[in-house]
Amino acid sequence: MKKLIVTGLAATLLAALTACGGSDSASSTLRVGTLSDAPPNIFLKDGTYTGFDNELLKDIAAKQNLKLEFAATDFSGLLGQVASGRYDIASSAIAQTEERKKTVDFSAAYDFETMSIQAKQGTPVTDEKGLAGKRVAVIQATVGDHWLTSTVPTAQAVRFPDYAAALTALKTGAVDAYILDQSIAEKNVTDNPDAKLVVVKSFVSDVPHGFAVKKGNAELLGKINEGLKKSIADGTWLKLHQQFLPTVPVPEEFRPGQ
């Protein structure tokens, strides 16, 4: 009888631990928050999350024996969802600003922010000065949002939760211009020939991109950084960059052997 009671208690405890995520299989898969509509960095294609950032993270994970599960969300809520534990990693060309570092921890830099002013053909906007008094689309809480409000305070920032909505606003004339990553702006031109979009001006910043994790998760951060070093060293980083971001300059520190 005692054996039966002990065995029953053990089974109950094991079931409880499994339900709470105590099993190895439950804890081995890392949840990655990303976007579905921001090519070429992060996007969904044929049911698979891909793009430069996501493919780089997949390679890092393979090198470090990590399992990933991707899910899409709005950029404005992404870092908060990492901080709360909903996602283990954020992959979304995230610029490492001092304000964001208060919410999450970042990996080593894996790229740098290159921004563009996008508009439609025939626009009077030729640079940032031309944005004064104009309705300008930005993705809420991004570097583009901060850049516009700090550089051209007289512009009317029209904030969107995702890239698709902002692009639609530009195409329909609801806004006069759009501030976003250079690579995404260039792809907008290629993918929407009838919209007659142009990249008015691009500018490289010294703001690094990084994968974000919950504050204090030094173990995961270490694995990501070690995998990133390997991806750079064996040329995978450069190969992916040439595949997804062929027109964006390659910083020397990301070339093999540097």
Helix and strand counts by DSSP (H, E) for the chain: 9, 13
Closest to 67 in 3D by CA, of 235, 234, 223: 223
Whether the ω angle into residue 40 lies within 30 degrees of 0, i.e. cis, is yes
The pLDDT tens digits along the chain (258 residues) read 444 444 444 444 444 443 333 333 335 899 999 999 999 999 999 999 999 999 999 999 999 999 999 999 999 999 999 999 999 999 999 999 999 999 999 999 999 988 999 999 999 999 999 999 999 999 998 889 999 999 999 999 999 999 999 999 999 999 999 999 998 999 999 999 999 999 999 987 788 999 999 999 999 999 999 999 999 999 999 999 999 999 888 888 999 986
d(CA 72, CA 47): 11
DSSP-assigned beta bridge partners for residue 139: 160
At 108, the amino acid letter reads A
Q: What is the DSSP letter of 131?
A: G
For the beta sheet containing 197-209, the strands, ordered from the edge strand earlier in sequence to the opposite edge, are: 156-160, 135-139, 177-181, 111-120, 197-209
Residue 141 has a pLDDT of 87
Residue 27 has a pLDDT of 55
